[in-house]
Structure 1
């Protein structure tokens, strides 16, 4: 019985990342004006620990990021775009959502 309890606890611990809570946020980045800009923004965001997915809409100058909120937050995401030369802000009328 003790072995089963240990195995169960171990399996729960190892599967915990699968339970990680994710959120998504859309950022407006008005400075994306050329074909290289989205590549730079995507690369900067993908380097932030916890970022799972980056979707860019060049026409709307927006980027939607899905991230693990236990590892990062919106401030870190906006800091990453700013540090890459593309200041961003949460899309008007939107909050980060899960």
Structure 2
């Protein structure tokens, strides 16, 4: 049985449902990602996958989508 890894990031610039859908799509397309949760109220994105996500790759796709990953949430 494998254990899933969950990481939460703070993302700046999310304001609406379109933002939520965009980030869910672009992050969800990354290899190994099984689930993406976006919380507009807190500005957080939670990424779940079989292994810990590549922070640099997550930051890259978030930036390409027009948002800013400001760090991991403890």
TM-score with structure 1 setting the length: 0.65
1:60 is aligned, of 42, 45, 61, to 42
Task: Give unpaired runs (5+ residues) of structure 1.
Answer: 1-17
Structure with max Cα Rg = 1
Q: Distance in 2 between matches of 1:89 and 1:51?
A: 20
TM-score with structure 2 setting the length: 0.82
1:38 and 2:11 are equivalent in the alignment: no
Structure with the greater relative contact order (CA < 8 A, sep ≥ 6): 1 or 2? Answer: 2
CA RMSD of aligned residues (A): 1.9
Task: Give unpaired runs (5+ residues) of structure 2.
Answer: none
Moved over 6 A (4+): none
The answer to which structure has the higher helix fraction is 1
Where do residues 1-98 of structure 1 align in structure 2 (5 Å cutoff)?
19=2, 21-69=3-51, 72-92=53-73, 94=74
